[in-house]
Amino acid sequence: MNATPAPPRPVDLSAPLFGLDRRGLAWVEETLAGLTREQKVGQLLCLYLRGDDMARFTSDLDRLGVAPGAVMMLPRSPAAAARDVAALQEWSRIPLLVAGNLESGAVNFLTGVEAFANPMQVAAAGDEAAVDALADHCIRVARSLGMNWAFAPVVDVAVNPANPITNTRSFGADHELVARLGSHYVSRLERAGLMTSPKHFPGDGVDDRDQHLVTSSNDLDVDEWTRTFGAVYAAVIAAGARSIMVGHIRQRALSKSVRPDFSDADVRPGSLAAELIGDVLRGRLGFEGLVVSDNTAMAGFTTAGRRDRTLPEMVAAGVDVVLGNVDVAADFAALVQAVDILTDDRLDEAVRRVLATKASLGLHLSPFGDAFGEPAFDHPDDLEARRVLARRSITVTKDAANLLPLRAAERRRVLVVVVGDEPTFYDPSGPFAPHFVAGLRARGCEVEVRRSPLAQSPSAEVDAFDLCIYFANVRFVGNSNSLRVAWAPWQGPDAPRHPSSFPTVLVSIADPYLLQDMAMVRTALNGYTPTSATVDAALEVLFGEIEPRGVSPVDPFVGHWDAAL
């Protein structure tokens, strides 16, 4: 049994969320009235901006008769990004929404840059000033490129440390902290004219699977969901979020609370669940803005049914903008032709909301709105702000071995074992181990570097070194349901086997949960974001040059009492 499609809900264009004057209201209605069904469907599409030839990109769309309402930025240089956005806005008859994953800065879609700070690093600093630093950086990046839509913040609560994709993208395990920092980020960007999209409703971070790879579930009961994730979404909606991103994540308890006739087999992911979008998000939480899906090429969506049916079913269920595609022509045709599923009334409702959102950004007056087009990418405050935030957030999770602060005169011969430090889709920056090693050498250490996996234990050479540092940059990847450390076969000879006789330190600049696999290490630091600034701050803490100030937003011991020893 599939959920009954939500009936069209009148869009209140006079709502404060849109803030439209008479000119804006008239533009929405006149534009809508002049569109064919095909053109209306185009307004629902947010296409990935692939390739670097915009003339070819737009000519291909012209050939298909597809005029999208939005695009999402994929990796390119800052100069190319600004150039391509300008070209697309000039081409498009109706101004485009231009989106990017502004979760931690621009590292996900601009080449040659580092992250500013992951949300968990912001949370380790713990206050609104840290949020402002990240938010202001993202605003400057967006303005320099002509972007108007931030697919951020991630407001998933890190309930399950084994979740392979939320990790440091989350503000942490405390839903009140997530609500406070997430809503502040939303308010800061929205007041600057940059639309936000808190994600991933009904909430990631509970399952130990990644919705990129499988339809995942948020299995909290109704009361617990309402107390945690529900409170978070209420906060970001109250802060003025103009859009919400819905994930391919089931919430069985909520679905059945609205539809008690549902069997387990009837429960669908949030992006296809009319009861979650209509009854919970719009009804209980009162959200009036734009609902955008997560990437519909994810397995979490593609496995939910035949694509030529699930795409129109998703819009019928309440999604206004469809992110991503498998085949642009086929996806477009599926939405145009499915008149039995995607009614004209529901299509008009979605397009009216898309157009009202564009007008709320001032796009009906200028394709760059009221606040965009400032050439301010390399802002002079950014480097210092990143450095200050990194120094405020470094967390000493334990120093039971009393190794800190390090003194090069006593620990001169250092073996550094590098774990991870490989580029990922979400963060291709780095490597950062060379910067860490350079910092050790600048402080008078003699350093030898080896990369895990190793054929033998570092402890076998205990007499050759005074200290072993595991430098770990283990990042969420989007192509695995596990983030656990994998040592070399056979039986992990490169694991820290003899920390009692061979002083050992863990410095993790990304994943905060590594002590579950390295519980025997008795001195450990977490940094939460792989950047040069984080490495510098970690070195300063290691050598006692600054005091550690960060507070872990999650349990770094993952519930293992022995990891805290």
Q: What is the pLDDT of residues 84-93, one digit of tens each?
A: 999 999 999 9
Share of the chain above pLDDT 90, in %: 87
Q: Which two tokens stand for residue 175?
A: 């839903």
Catalytic-residue membership of 348: no
Say whether both 60 and 179 belong to one domain: yes
Residue 51 sits at φ, ψ, to 5 deg, of 80, 170
The total domain count for the chain is 2
Say whether both 211 and 341 belong to one domain: yes
Banded pLDDT at 480 (limits 50, 70, 90): confident
Banded pLDDT at 381 (limits 50, 70, 90): confident
Say whether both 326 and 408 belong to one domain: no
Burial of 21 (0-12, 13-18, 19+ CB in 10 A): exposed
**376 pLDDT more than 60:** no
Q: Which two tokens stand for residue 350?
A: 């979605």
Q: Which pLDDT value is given to residue 348? A: 97
Q: What is the pLDDT of residues 253-267, one digit of tens each?
A: 999 999 999 999 999
User: Which of these ranges, 92-96, 367-371, 461-465, has the smallest mean pLDDT?
Assistant: 367-371
Cβ neighbours around 225 below 10 Å, total: 22
State the residue for tokens 């019928």: 316
Cβ neighbours around 34 below 10 Å, total: 10
Positions of E strands within 370-517? 395-399, 413-420, 446-451, 467-473, 504-508
On whether residue 1 sits in a domain, the answer given is no
Beta-sheet pairing, 395-399 with 523-526 = antiparallel
**375 pLDDT more than 50:** no
Positions of E strands within 106-251? 149-150, 195-196, 216-217, 243-246, 249-250
Burial of 33 (0-12, 13-18, 19+ CB in 10 A): exposed
* Residue (of 164, 166, 292, 274) closest to 229 by Cα position: 166
On whether residue 262 sits in a domain, the answer given is yes
Say whether both 351 and 398 belong to one domain: no
Tell whether omega for the bond before 212 is within 30 degrees of 0, i.e. cis: no
DSSP state of 354: H
On whether residue 376 sits in a domain, the answer given is no
- What domain range is 267 assigned to? 22-360
Say whether both 312 and 405 belong to one domain: no
State the residue for tokens 């009216």: 352
Banded pLDDT at 280 (limits 50, 70, 90): very high
Nearest-angstrom CA–CA distance, 562 and 565: 5
Say whether both 347 and 496 belong to one domain: no
Q: Which pLDDT value is given to residue 378? A: 59
Q: Which pLDDT value is given to residue 368? A: 79
**370 pLDDT more than 60:** no
* Size (the chain), residues: 565
Nearest-angstrom CA–CA distance, 350 and 313: 13
Q: Which pLDDT value is given to residue 377? A: 55
DSSP state of 418: E
CB neighbour list of residue 507: distance below 8 Å, 6 or more residues apart:
436, 469, 470, 471, 472, 524, 525, 527, 538, 542
**185 pLDDT more than 80:** yes
**484 pLDDT more than 50:** yes
Q: What is the pLDDT of residues 323-367, one digit of tens each?
A: 999 999 999 999 999 999 999 999 999 999 999 999 999 999 988
* Residue (of 355, 337, 327) closest to 64 by Cα position: 327
Share of the chain above pLDDT 70, in %: 96
**316 pLDDT more than 80:** yes
Question: Pick from 338, 360, 382: which residue ends a domain?
Answer: 360
DSSP-assigned states of every residue in 457-468: -GGGGGGG-SEE
On whether residue 17 sits in a domain, the answer given is no
Beta-sheet pairing, 290-293 with 322-323 = unpaired
**2 pLDDT more than 60:** no
On whether residue 188 sits in a domain, the answer given is yes
Q: What is the largest CA-CA distance in the chain?
A: 80
* Residue (of 59, 66, 98) closest to 332 by Cα position: 66
The sign of the torsion formed by the CA atoms of 531, 537, 542, 548 equals negative
On whether residue 534 sits in a domain, the answer given is yes
On whether residue 385 sits in a domain, the answer given is no
Question: Pick from 344, 360, 376: which residue ends a domain?
Answer: 360
Say whether both 345 and 460 belong to one domain: no
DSSP state of 552: -
Name the more confident of 61 and 478.
Answer: 61
Say whether both 438 and 325 belong to one domain: no
User: Which of these ranges, 67-81, 286-300, 329-343, 492-506, has the smallest mean pLDDT?
Assistant: 492-506
DSSP-assigned states of every residue in 28-43: HHHHHHT--HHHHHHH
Angle separating helix axes 22-33 and 344-360, nearest 10 degrees:
140
Name the active-site residue from 136, 156, 294, 466. 294
Say whether both 148 and 283 belong to one domain: yes
> Residue 197 maps to which CATH number?
3.20.20.300
Banded pLDDT at 8 (limits 50, 70, 90): low
Across the range 206-210, mean pLDDT stands at: 95
As a whole number, the mean pLDDT across the chain is: 94
Nearest-angstrom CA–CA distance, 43 and 58: 15
Say whether both 459 and 559 belong to one domain: yes
Q: Which pLDDT value is given to residue 5? A: 65
Cα–Cα distances in angstroms (integers) from residue 178 to residues 150, 328, 447, 477, in the given order? 18, 36, 40, 22
**297 pLDDT more than 80:** yes
On whether residue 9 sits in a domain, the answer given is no
Q: Which pLDDT value is given to residue 6? A: 62
Say whether both 403 and 355 belong to one domain: no
DSSP three-state, residue 539: helix
Nearest-angstrom CA–CA distance, 186 and 460: 52
> Residue 455 maps to which CATH number?
3.40.50.1700
Cβ neighbours around 404 below 10 Å, total: 16
Across the range 393-400, mean pLDDT stands at: 98
DSSP state of 110: B
Cβ neighbours around 410 below 10 Å, total: 10
Q: Which strands form 45-49's sheet, in the order they lie side by side?
A: 195-196, 149-150, 97-100, 70-73, 45-49, 322-323
Segment (H or E) for 47: strand 45-49
Nearest-angstrom CA–CA distance, 70 and 200: 19
Residues paired with 150 in a beta bridge: 100, 196
Across the range 476-490, mean pLDDT stands at: 86
Beta-sheet pairing, 149-150 with 290-293 = unpaired
Say whether both 411 and 550 belong to one domain: yes
- CB of 412 closer than 8 Å to CB of 440: no
Across the range 3-11, mean pLDDT stands at: 66
* Residue (of 92, 142, 208) closest to 483 by Cα position: 208
Nearest-angstrom CA–CA distance, 406 and 390: 20
CA atoms within 13 A on the CB side of 76: 20
